[in-house]
Structure 1
Amino acid sequence: MKYFTIFLLIIPITLLNCKAKNTSTHKSSTGIEKISLSELTRGTNRIFTLANGKLETSLNGNSNTEEITQGNWAKISETAEKMNLEEISKLESPSTKRYSDAAFASSITITKNGTDYQSSEFDAGNPPVELKNLYDEIKKVIETKKSK
């Protein structure tokens, strides 16, 4: 009888533990996977890709990878998570300096659940209002890495 009671206690604990692991795995797979900022002009192609814990910088095809803090990634991914990703391709740029090559033509691509959401093009440093917070957070991380 004693073994039967112990057995009855172990089964629910095991089932609860398995369920907790499944929900945490599911939670992490529903978030932002990566975010890329692309800046292009004649003769220069810069792509900054942020993924969990890493910043990959590509300048005219030459790549470099650096570590970023989990806090930086969390802040950037939370900012992106708050956005309506289906609408970012329809956002209007507040300026058009990229047309005359006076500014980099920039765009942001957010990958969530295997789907890429790409913003409309905008001038580097002057994103649409809806993208400003995300753009600023990305640039903070990039500038911090450049200064080291």
Structure 2
Amino acid sequence: MKLYFFSIILTAFAVFNSCEQSQEQVIEAINYEASSRGFYMNITLTGDRIMVGNRMGYEESTIPEGDSQLDFIRSEIAKIDLNSIPDFKAPSHESYRDAAASAYFSVKTKENTYESESFDHGNPPIEIAPIIEALLKLAKVE
């Protein structure tokens, strides 16, 4: 009887703990920003809405459900440990000498914002490169 009671408590604890962890990882927004002298681009993905900004302003649109790029972004984000985003290393540093725009990638959850270190636009860290490529395609920016 004690073993039965103990197993019920242990199962309940595991269920509540997994629910709490999954709520922390609910992504509210994904953001990509690149800028240099005379160039600015900002792409923000929130649910099924995408906002694309440049020096002239912003354009917002809705992404149809089932869009392959959106599904790909969601699946790739799920594979990443969000806490490791600040540790991703840039493969090049051309933006240090104005040879490339400086870019940042961030993921916002209810609890936290995970932001990458600066990297060159067009040459992101390998861990997030597929996500950024898909974001650029989704925003119709190359």
TM bucket by the smaller chain? 0.7 to 0.9
Structure 2 regions of 5+ residues with no counterpart? 1-21
CA distance in structure 2 between the partners assigned to 1:127 and 1:97 by the alignment: 12
Aligned match of 2:93 in 93, 96, 110? 96
Tell me the TM-score normalized by structure 2.
0.74
How far apart are the structure 1 equivalents of 2:57 and 2:64? 23
Q: Are 1:55 and 2:50 counterparts?
A: yes
Structure showing greater radius of gyration is 1
> Structure 1: any 5+ residue segments left out of the alignment?
1-26
Counting aligned pairs with the same residue, the percent is 24
Q: Distance in 2 between matches of 1:101 and 1:39?
A: 13
Q: Which runs of 4+ in 1 moved over 3 A?
A: 27-30
1:37 aligned residue: 32
Give the equivalent residue in structure 2 for 1:132.
Answer: 129
Q: CA deviation at 1:57?
A: 1.1
Closer/same/farther in 2, CA of residues 54 and 29 from structure 1, 3 Å limit? farther
Work out the number of aligned pairs and report it.
121
Q: CA RMSD in A?
A: 2.5
The answer to whether structure 1 residue 142 and structure 2 residue 142 are counterparts is no
Deviation at 1:30, TM superposition (A): 4.5
Letter in structure 2 aligned against 1:89: P
